[in-house]
C-alpha cells in the first residue's frame, strides 16, 4: 500500500536492526485519515471472504481494526491483555509468548462475541514472530469460528511470523512488508498485490 509505505519512509524511525518506531501515526499518536485508508485496503482485500467479525488485540490493533470493521460493516472485538473488572465470565483464553519480553501472557475474549457462526478476520498492527496472531487464531478456533485470514499493517519480513502463519495455511495480507532495517535504513519488499 503505497500511501502507508510513503508514511513509513517519512515518519518511521529505525530503533535497531529489528525494531521500527511508528509512534507518530500507529502506536501512540494515530492518523485517522491514514487509518481509514488502511481500513479500506483491508476491506478490499477481504471483500469476498464473507467476514462477519474482526478480531484484534489491544491496544495498537484497535485503530486499523475499527476502520476495517467500518468498511466491511461488521463488529470489531479486541482481545484483552489484562483482566477486566466486567469481563469475568465465559472467557476464551490463549497464551501468547513474547520473544522480546521473554514472558508468556494470557489474552482473553468473551464467548459472547465470538461464535461458531462467525467468519473472522484477524487484524494486527505489526507482524514480528506471529505469536499474537497465533493466539488470536487459537481463540477463534476455541470459539469454533472460522478464520478467513489475517490482515497486518506492517510485516517485518525478516522475522519468522509471516512464514509461520502462511505455513499453517492462513491467508496473510500485509499492507507493507519490511525486508530489512539494517544500517538505519528501512527497506521494503516488492509489493505483490495492487
Q: Interface residues with Na ion (CB under 5 A)?
A: 60-61, 124-125
Total residues at the site for ligand G4P (CB under 6 A)? 18
Which residue number, 92 or 134, has a Cβ lying nearer to ligand G4P?
A: 134
Interaction mask 59-78, ligand G4P, x per CB under 6 A: xx------------------
Would you state the cell numbers that stand for residue 125, as one nine-digit string?
498492527
List 73's β-bridge partners, or say none: none
Contact partners, residue 87, CB within 8 Å, separation at least 6: 80, 108, 110
For 97, phi then psi, to 5°, come to: -95, 130
| Interface with ligand G4P, residue 132, by CB under 6 A | yes
Residue 59: asked if its preceding bond is cis (omega within 30°), the reply is yes
Minimum CB separation of residue 16 from Na ion in Å reads: 15
Largest separation between any pair of C-alpha atoms in the chain? 49
In the complex, which residue's CB is closest to Na ion?
Answer: 60
**Cα separation of the two ends of the chain:** 7
Residues 91-110 that bind ligand G4P (CB under 6 A): 98-101
- Local structure of residue 23 (DSSP, 8 states): I
Which residue number, 20 or 74, has a Cβ lying nearer to ligand G4P?
A: 20
Binding site for ligand G4P (CB under 6 A): 19-22, 27, 59-60, 98-101, 125-126, 128-129, 131-132, 156
Amino acid at each position: 500500500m503505497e500511501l502507508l509505505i510513503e508514511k513509513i519512509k517519512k515518519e518511521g524511525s529505525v530503533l535497531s536492526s529489528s525494531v521500527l518506531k511508528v509512534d507518530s501515526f500507529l502506536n501512540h499518536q494515530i492518523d485517522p485519515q491514514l487509518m481509514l485508508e488502511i481500513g479500506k485496503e483491508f476491506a478490499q482485500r477481504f471483500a469476498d471472504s464473507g467476514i462477519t467479525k474482526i478480531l484484534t488485540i489491544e491496544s495498537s490493533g484497535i485503530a486499523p481494526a475499527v476502520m476495517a470493521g467500518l468498511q466491511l460493516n461488521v463488529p470489531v472485538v479486541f482481545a484483552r491483555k489484562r483482566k477486566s473488572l466486567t469481563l469475568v465470565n465465559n472467557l476464551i483464553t490463549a497464551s501468547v509468548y513474547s520473544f522480546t519480553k521473554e514472558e508468556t501472557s494470557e489474552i482473553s475474549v468473551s464467548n459472547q462475541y465470538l461464535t461458531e457462526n462467525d467468519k473472522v478476520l484477524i487484524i494486527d498492527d505489526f507482524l514480528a514472530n506471529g505469536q499474537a496472531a497465533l493466539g488470536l487464531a487459537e481463540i477463534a478456533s476455541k470459539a469454533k469460528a472460522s478464520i478467513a485470514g489475517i490482515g497486518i499493517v506492517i510485516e517485518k519480513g525478516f522475522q519468522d511470523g509471516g512464514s509461520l502463519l502462511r505455513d499453517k495455511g492462513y491467508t496473510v495480507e500485509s499492507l507493507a512488508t519490511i525486508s530489512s532495517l539494517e544500517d538505519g535504513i528501512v527497506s521494503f519488499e516488492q509489493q505483490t498485490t495492487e
